[in-house]
Amino acid sequence: MGQSLLQYIYIYINIYYDGYLFEIGDKPHLSLTKLSQRHGPIMSLQLGQLTTIVVSSTTLAKEILRTHDQVFCNLTLPEAIHACKHSDYSMAWLPVSARWRNLRTICNLQLFAPKVLDANQAKRRVKVQKLIDDVNGSMRAGEAVNIRRAAFSTTLNLLSQTIFSVDLADPSSETTREFKETVWGMMEEIGKPNLADYFLFLRKLDPQGIRPRLTHYFQITVDMFDRMIHQRLESRKRDGYISTNDMLDTLMNINEEKMEDMDVLETQHLFLDLFAAGTDTSSATMEWAMAELLRNPKILSKAQAELEQVIGKGKLVEESDIARLPYLQAIIKETFRVHPTVPFLLPR
């Protein structure tokens, strides 16, 4: 029943507010391009009760995103994220502030610094090798490869190895199966068009029931991270503990062995951000890149030729090889351009 009633409400309020919601559709970046061809490079759209300014020229985009980014960088937050009890701990949703800058500094200097990532590269190499082995196995058995599933599991494990030194996409474990579904569900709920974003009076009603589902997903994830943080704190107290060089150890080293309650909460939410922002984005981009290569066999051959020439047939590509593969880099950049996974929603 929900669907038809919702559609009815949607049509009614759209007509009532004389808005553009109808014209946006399910490919907003394309429909906005079309609208801009009609209305020009800067236009104001009434989306329900929300007034939205759309900029569609390089010059104006540079003005807003680069020259005056400080003025424009705190956009309206999607209603769904309030389902997270501590959304004010999340780097992605925080306004530009001292706390946000502090988190960015920790990420830039401590977590994503090249030498830190290089130190735990071996863990990711094992996951890439596993992906290749799985694909080879399917090839020998004459089975189709489900790229979406393979890319998602690999990305999740690449991240969970980098952060916790564990596999969070292990099909044989019940906990990790639940985690995978949770991350997937979280992305779906946050990405779904939510009427409550456009009509303020619907916020309390939450007609699509997004808030309770998301609260449930956030809670499962945060509880899991909490267990992992406390297990690690216990392990580190034992004699002969050997550092794992992962992000959790790095953060614990910054906090000088002890983690106050506040630090635990911040760490849980930083990891929630990294998993939510890093999994589906990367795996969807990989899936699109593969789909586009299959549709463009000439480009696929050129990419294969580059790999053979630079790396050698049958050899594993290392992270440090990427700089020597300009054609492959161009393919990834073009995939970002044609299939942006996060064209909207984020405040910056």
**H runs (alpha helix) in 90-191:** 98-105, 114-119, 121-141, 147-164, 174-191
Which residue of 46, 74, 138, 341 would you call a contact of ligand HEM, by CB under 6 A? 341
Q: Which is nearer to ligand HEM, 47 or 277 (CB)?
A: 277
Alpha carbons 132 and 138: distance in angstroms, whole number = 10
The residue from 41, 185, 193, 278 that contacts ligand HEM (CB under 6 A) is 278
At residue 338's C-alpha, the angle toward residues 332 and 340, to 5°, is: 80
In the chain, the amino acid numbered 344 is: F
Which segment (58-66, 130-138, 276-284, 289-297) binds ligand HEM by CB under 6 A? 276-284
Strand partners, 52: 45
Q: Minimum Å distance from CB 331 to ligand HEM?
A: 13
Nearest distance, CB of residue 297 and ligand HEM, angstroms: 24
Given 55, 84, 91, 252, the residue binding ligand HEM (CB under 6 A): 91
Q: Which residues pair with 31 in a beta bridge?
A: none
At 189, list the tokens. Answer: 């709920």
- With a CB cutoff of 8 Å and minimum separation 6, the contacts of 317 are 128, 307, 311, 325
With binding defined as CB under 6 A, does residue 273 bind ligand HEM?
yes
Which of 75, 126 has the CB closer to ligand HEM? 75
Residue 142: partners with Cβ closer than 8 Å, 6 or more residues away:
none
By beta-carbon proximity to ligand HEM, the closer residue of 122 and 342 is: 342
**Euclidean distance between CA atoms 292 and 195, whole angstroms:** 33
Residue with tokens 């530009």: 96
Query: In the complex, what is the shortest distance from the CB of residue 340 to ligand HEM, in angstroms, rounded to a whole number?
Result: 7
Among 13, 55, 84, 92, which residue interacts with ligand HEM (rule: CB under 6 A)?
A: 92
d(CA 158, CA 281): 13
Q: In this chain, which stretch among 4-12, 122-130, 269-277, 302-310 interacts with ligand HEM, using CB under 6 A? A: 269-277
Residue list 136-165, contact with ligand HEM (CB under 6 A): 159
The DSSP string of 233-278 is HHHHHSTT-----SHHHHHHHHTTT---HHHHHHHHHHHHHHHHHH
Closest distance of CB 278 from ligand HEM, Å: 3
Judged by CB under 6 A, which stretch of 141-149, 226-234, 278-286, 294-302 contacts ligand HEM?
Answer: 278-286
Instruction: Select the residue interacting with ligand HEM from 6, 139, 294, 342 (CB under 6 A).
Output: 342
Based on the shown chain and the rule CB under 6 A, indicate whether residue 274 belongs to the binding site for ligand HEM. Answer: yes
Interface positions with ligand HEM (CB under 6 A): 91-92, 104, 159, 273-274, 277-278, 281-282, 285, 336, 341-342, 346, 348
